[in-house]
Structure 1
Amino acid sequence: MFIDKVITLALGAMFLLALSCEGPTAEEATTNNAPQKRTLQQEPTFWDYAASSNMLQVAIATVAAEKGTTEHIRNIASEAVAFHVKALEDLKALAERYDNIQLPDSLGAADLGLVLEFKLLEGEELDTHFREFVLSTHNAQLDTYEEAFLKADDTPTRDWLMDMRAHLRQEITAIAEADSVETAAE
């Protein structure tokens, strides 16, 4: 019985000794708990996404501005073209500040296919698809831009992200108003 107690005590002491040897020193613990620096400039996939999504918004909105059946849809689309063209120009200016950021200069094959689909649509079907496109893409962009905002390294990038988020919310509201106006007219 006495030997069992000695063995238990010895094992407990070795366990405590092992725990104290494996842990970080006080200096290491302080260093490891330091806040991490935001790193959006180290995420080229974000920049590619932002440029591609703005180019796609311009292309789709151009089709809707030309072929939309209601004045409200054509106005929303025209305003979207103007905004996203400027947003893309501003994004290019921001990206030029970083050596590791390369923005795409044209739409990818999948996006070009989507633009072609929109060009083939007519009438109410085009308006409906445009509304659905705006709602789905803008909600996805909002999520992405909100995450990116937390990582943005500088004020101009943060300002660009804030402008984008405000505009996306505004377009979502405008599309919702268009839906409610059309529903009331029926």
Structure 2
Amino acid sequence: MFIDKAISILFGLVFLFVLSCDGPSSDSVVSEEEATAVGGKALQDDPVFWDYAASSNMLQTEIGRIAAEKATSDSIKTMGQKTVDFHSKAMQQLRSLVANQEKVQIPDSLGSADRALVEEFKLLEGEEFNTRYRDFILNTHTVQLERYKEALGRAENKRTLDWLQAMLVHLRKELNSVANIDSVKQQ
């Protein structure tokens, strides 16, 4: 039990480190006041945010595919497939949202750290996979919730606001699903 918790904590720390190395750091998040002070940079014109949003959706989709195939728990398999379905659609919507933005170029593939994380998940088996996937969802969704909440304050059009709201609802629902899986497992 202790080893499982230690591994989970270690994975969480490694994941946060990976996010800080290959993606935009939380220091790059611009508050609404800072955006106004530097020329009113709206969310729609913020390439850092959209790069983060695209990268996180692609990563969720790829690791969700692995979960749908490799998980030994039916609830984790189902969660993985729902993740693939939701984040694939969210990615299509994201591309549509930024299609006419000259300053925004979203990535079309995962960065090196994200690819390495996908490869790590491919090597996991059994209960270790299930545990790491639950931890991945908890860690990534918590970070994404904060980023998307911050982005709401800078969004200027209804389509972007609607997309962000849908993302927030999904992320909260997934966090609740993981909590339900964990509570059923403990009983």
User: What TM-score do the two structures reach when normalised by structure 2?
Assistant: 0.78
Could you tell me how far 1:99 is from its partner in structure 2? 1.7
Match of 1:105 in 2: 108
> Which of residues 126, 147, 153 in structure 1 aligns to 2:129?
126
Partner of 1:9: none
Contact (CA 8 Å) 1:135, 1:172: kept in 2 or not? yes
Q: 2 CA distance for matches of 1:112 and 1:80?
A: 18
Is 1:168 equivalent to 2:171 in the alignment? yes
Matched-pair contact (CA < 8 Å) for 1:38–1:153:
no
Structural RMSD (CA) = 1.3
* Match of residue 178, structure 1, among 169, 181, 186: 181
Q: Please list the CA deviations of residues 83-102 of structure 1 after superposition, one character each: whole Å capped at 9, or x if unmatched.
A: 00000000000010312111
Q: Which residue in the other structure is 2:89 paired with? A: 86
Q: CA deviation at 1:182?
A: 1.3
Residues 55-74 of structure 1 mapped to structure 2, 5 A cutoff: 55-74=58-77
Stretches of structure 2 lacking an aligned partner (at least 5 in a row): 1-35
TM-superposed deviation, 1:38: 6.1
SS of equivalent residue, structure 1 residue 66: helix
Q: Give percent identity, aligned residues only.
A: 49
- Give yes or no for contact 1:38–1:152 (8 Å, CA) kept in 2: no
Structure 1 residue matching 2:141: 3-state secondary structure:
helix
TM (norm. structure 1) is 0.78
* 4+ aligned runs moved over 2 Å, structure 1: none
Residue aligning to 2:5: none
In terms of Rg, which structure is larger?
1
